[in-house]
Amino acid sequence: MNLRLRLCCFAVASAAAIAPSINAQPLSVYSEFARIDASGQVTAPETPREILSPALVRNGFTSFQMVVQAPPDKEWWLFVGENPEKVLKVTMYRETEDALEPVELPHKSSGAEILWIDVWTPADAPMMRIKIEPELLIDGDWATYPMEARVMAARVPDSALPPGSYLCPLVAASPPLPMVRLQLRNAAQDFALAAPLEQEERNKLLDFCDRPTPARWSENYLHIRDYLFRLPAVN
C-alpha cells in the first residue's frame, strides 16, 4: 500500500472514530410522545419529530421533553431563555423514574437527565413567534437548542369537560403516571378544540389514533394536534 493510500485510509478511520463525539448533542428537545429511556436515548419512534418551530395553542398547555446528555460525573447548569419575555409561563420538571419533580431555573445537575418543558400560553397572547431556548453550560462551553415557537390562533375553550374526554382511547394505569397526566390534560384540550368540527371531519382525525389501544399514545397523535392547532379561534 503506497503512502497516499495509507494516509487516506487513516484519515477515514480517524473521522469515523471521532464522528460520534462531534455529532453528539448534549441538549435535545422531543415531543411529549417520544419514548425515552433512563440514559436519555429515544427508543420510539425510530425517527422522532424534530422540535424546532413548534405550535403553541392559546389558553392551553403545550409540553415537550428535553434530554441533557453528559457523563455521570460531569456537572452542568441549565437555563431557558425567552424572547420576548413574559408572554408565556414556562414550568420545568425533572423526570425521576415514575415521577416528575418541579425544578427552578437555572437548574444545576450532573449526568444524563430527562426534563419536561410545560408551556402555558395565555388566551390573549398575540399570534407571534417566541424564542424558547434551552441553554446548557458544561465544561465552560455553552450549548443552545434553537427553538422558535409559534403562537397560533387556536384557543382552548374555557368550558369544563367531563373526565375521559379524549379523541383517542388510552389504557392508562390508575392512577396514571405524572407524565401521562400531562398528556391526558393536553389531550382534553384537543377534545375541546375538536368539539365544533363536523363528525366526518372528526372521523378523519381518528384515523391517526393508535391501534390497538395503547398505554401511552405515540407520535402518530401529533397529526391530530397539527390539524387542531391550525384551526381559527372560536369565540
pLDDT at 10 over 70: no
pLDDT at 103 over 80: yes
Summarize pLDDT for 148-193 with one digit per residue, the tens. 999 999 999 998 777 779 999 999 778 888 999 999 999 999 999 9
Residue 218: name the closest of 55, 29, 56, 42 by CA: 42
State residue 24's pLDDT score.
67
Contact by Cβ (8 Å): 59, 47: no
- Helix and strand counts by DSSP (H, E) for the chain: 4, 13
pLDDT at 36 over 90: yes
Residue 3: pLDDT band by 50, 70, 90 thresholds? very low
Q: Domain locations in the chain? A: 22-229
Adjacent-strand bridge partners of 29: 66
pLDDT at 72 over 50: yes
Rounded to 5°, the CA angle 53-57-62 comes to 70
What is the Cα–Cα distance from 143 to 166, expressed in whole angstroms? 37
What is the Cα–Cα distance from 55 to 154, expressed in whole angstroms? 10
Summarize pLDDT for 178-231 with one digit per residue, the tens. 999 999 999 999 999 999 999 999 999 999 999 999 999 999 999 999 999 999
Average pLDDT score over residue span 89-99: 94
What is the Cα–Cα distance from 3 to 177, expressed in whole angstroms? 61
What is the Cα–Cα distance from 186 to 174, expressed in whole angstroms? 18
Residue 235: pLDDT band by 50, 70, 90 thresholds? low
Residue 119: name the closest of 202, 56, 69 by CA: 56
Q: Hey, what CATH topology would domain 22-229 get?
A: Immunoglobulin-like (2.60.40)
